[in-house]
């Protein structure tokens, strides 16, 4: 019977001739996988790392294919924690609460709950990164079974070791297949981080160069001050705003995200301490705080933390010539308003004059329009027997110019609106 033979083309090596088509495909795949890395700061990954270091469960929100799994892989490598991935949506509630195992005498020994194999492997390793993927597609019964795992780190009769950290991922309901809203009890146990992609990172990565993130390091000498700062920030806000201690959102969608409760405020306090000890940026701190207690309470807390470092109005009134005012416009405005309020509470001629000196200094070192409102309020506090200080003359042109600019802007807006 004749055989089909194919001659080896001239110039082709014997080794190449014996390569199968899959061998060539594997060689091409190997070339595609080759890449280099470069150091690059990543606000999202830094926030995730701090939350994991604080031993708090984290939930990454983002559409499919955004890079949540890749971020977890990079984090596990950087922290030297073995990664264990569990797809929550394909499991039964008993997979997280434990499977009953009937012994020889259930009446005397009871029925123990056997944990799944992946939990046993985590206990044997003593550490690890447990990744609960597709959390938003897990039905309510599975979410209820996850409560004990996330809060108490227990699966059946098995206690996960302290070296195990928990991170979950979820797709927004609009992009999830048969998705469910998270139950409020489960949602309130997580630090919620919105995961997005960086266009430049993706382009450079596809070109063969992916970022290598430098993970934050805690300063051992800053730990006591960081804890003190975090406690003062949270307790100060909640003392002034007691209604924020516990506020369950009214809508089902918002209940499945970050919202304030005693539990989430405790998590926020810990994250502030970690971010402070690490010297993290305001952007990282904002992600962590808003991802724990929600956008509204989180922004209030950030504003309160900014005011904690503001100079004392009484100290400024005592030495207006040597006063150091904040550079940021919103903080400078808060300081000037505080000075005027201090004069209102205790109106004295010397304090009134000192406040005018501070306003003059503010016009010389920053945006002059910031003094318009404080100057108008301070002028209204004048008593009949108080002479007008000479420093007011320096402010008159500034206030007048600012008011004319405001009036011109208002007229322009009115014309634009009428022309529509």
311-340: average pLDDT: 86
Query: Mind listing the pLDDT tens digit for each residue in 274-323?
Result: 999 999 999 999 999 999 999 999 999 998 898 887 888 888 999 888 88
Task: Write down the pLDDT at residue 102.
Answer: 67
pTM of structure: 0.74
Q: Count how many Cα atoms sit within 13 Å of the Cα of residue 104 in the half-sphere of its side chain.
A: 0
Of 189 and 416, more confident: 189
Task: Read off the pLDDT band of 73 (50, 70, 90).
Answer: confident
Burial 345-374 (b: 16+ CB within 10 A, else e): eeeeeebbbbbbbbbbbbbeebebbbbbeb
Higher pLDDT, 406 or 89: 89
- Other C-beta atoms closer than 10 Å to the C-beta of 138 total 27
Contact call for residues 277 and 230 (beta carbons, < 8 A): no
CA atoms within 13 A on the CB side of 242: 1
Q: What pLDDT sits at residue 172? A: 82
Pairing, β 36-39 against β 154-155: unpaired
Check residue 402 and give its pLDDT. 46
What letters, b where the CB count within 10 A reaches 16 and e where it falls short, cover 41-63?
Answer: ebebbbbbbbbbbbebbbbbbbe
The pLDDT, as a whole number, for residue 244 is 93
User: What pLDDT does residue 409 have?
Assistant: 52
3-state secondary structure of 111: coil
pLDDT in tens, 175-197: 655 667 888 999 999 999 999 88
Q: Tokens 């264990």: give the residue.
A: 84
pLDDT at position 108: 66
Domain range 40-96+114-212, its CATH number among 3.90.550.10, 3.40.50.300, 3.40.50.150, 3.40.640.10: 3.40.50.300
Rounded to an integer, the average pLDDT of 265-270 is: 97
Model confidence at 401: pLDDT above 50? no
Helix (H, G, I), strand (E, B) or coil at 202: helix
Q: What's the DSSP call for residue 93? A: T
CA distance 238 to 89: 37
Task: For residue 20, name the pLDDT band (cuts at 50, 70, 90).
Answer: confident
Mean pLDDT within 4-21 = 56
**61 contacts 194 by C-beta, under 8 angstroms:** yes
Rounded to whole angstroms, how far apart are CA atoms 374 and 19?
82
pLDDT of residue 408: 47
Confidence category of residue 333, pLDDT binned at 50, 70, 90: confident
Predicted confidence at residue 171, as pLDDT, reads 86
pLDDT of residue 393: 64
Q: What is the mean pLDDT of residues 46-70?
A: 91
Q: Which two tokens stand for residue 180?
A: 């469910």
Residue 220: count other Cβ atoms within 10 Å of its Cβ: 7
pLDDT category of residue 165 using cuts at 50, 70 and 90: very high
Helix (H) or strand (E) holding 200: helix 199-206
User: Tell me, what's the pLDDT at 231?
Assistant: 96
The pLDDT > 70 percentage for the chain reads 85
Q: How far apart are CA 8 and CA 225, in angstroms?
A: 75
Per-residue confidence band for 5, with pLDDT thresholds at 50, 70 and 90: very low
**Boundaries of every domain in the chain:** 40-96+114-212, 220-308, 313-419
Mean pLDDT of 399-415: 53
pLDDT at 16: 53
Cα separation, 361 vs 371, in Å, equals 10
**Mean pLDDT, residues 370-385:** 85
Q: What is the mean pLDDT of residues 34-43?
A: 86
Which residue, among 396, 383, 394, has the nearest Cα to 351 in the 3D structure?
Answer: 383
pLDDT 10s digits, 195-221: 988 888 889 888 988 887 777 899 999
Res 224 pLDDT > 70: yes
């Amino acid at each position: 019977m004749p055989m089909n033979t194919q001659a080896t083309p001239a110039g082709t090596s014997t080794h190449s001739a014996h390569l199968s088509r899959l061998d060539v495909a594997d060689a091409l795949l190997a070339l595609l996988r080759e890449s280099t890395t470069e150091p690059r700061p990543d606000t999202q990954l830094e926030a995730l790392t701090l939350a994991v270091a604080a031993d708090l469960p984290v939930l990454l929100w983002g559409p499919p294919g955004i890079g949540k799994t890749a971020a977890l892989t990079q984090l596990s490598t950087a922290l030297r924690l073995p990664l264990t991935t569990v797809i929550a949506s394909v499991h039964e509630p008993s997979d997280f609460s434990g499977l009953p195992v009937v012994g020889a005498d259930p009446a005397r020994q009871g029925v123990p709950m056997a944990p799944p194999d992946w939990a046993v492997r985590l206990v044997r390793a003593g550490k690890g990164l447990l990744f609960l993927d597709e959390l938003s597609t897990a039905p309510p019964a599975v979410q209820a079974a996850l409560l004990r795992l996330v809060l108490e780190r227990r699966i059946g009769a098995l206690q996960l070791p302290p070296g195990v950290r928990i991170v979950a991922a979820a797709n927004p309901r609009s992009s999830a297949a048969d998705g469910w809203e998270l139950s409020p009890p489960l949602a309130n146990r997580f630090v919620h981080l919105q995961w997005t992609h960086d266009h430049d990172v993706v382009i450079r990565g596809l070109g063969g160069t992916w970022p290598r993130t430098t993970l934050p390091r805690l300063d051992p000498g800053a730990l006591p001050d960081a804890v003190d700062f975090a406690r003062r920030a949270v307790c100060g806000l909640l003392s002034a705003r007691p209604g924020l201690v516990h506020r369950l959102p009214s809508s089902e969608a918002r209940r499945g995200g970050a919202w304030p409760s005693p539990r989430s405020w405790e998590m926020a306090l810990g994250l502030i301490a970690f971010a402070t000890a690490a010297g993290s940026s305001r952007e990282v701190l904002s992600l962590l705080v808003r991802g724990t207690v929600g956008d509204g309470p989180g922004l209030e807390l950030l504003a309160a933390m900014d005011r904690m470092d503001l100079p004392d109005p009484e100290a400024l009134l005592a030495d207006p010539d040597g006063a150091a005012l904040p550079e940021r416009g919103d903080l400078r405005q808060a300081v000037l308003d505080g000075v005027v309020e201090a004069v209102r509470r205790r109106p004295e001629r010397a304090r009134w004059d000192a406040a005018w000196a501070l306003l003059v200094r503010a016009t010389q070192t920053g945006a002059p329009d910031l003094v318009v409102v404080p100057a108008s309020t301070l002028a209204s506090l004048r008593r009949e027997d108080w002479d007008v200080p000479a420093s007011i003359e320096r402010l008159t042109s500034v206030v007048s110019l600012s008011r004319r600019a405001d009036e011109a802007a208002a007229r322009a807006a009115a014309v634009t609106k009428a022309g529509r």
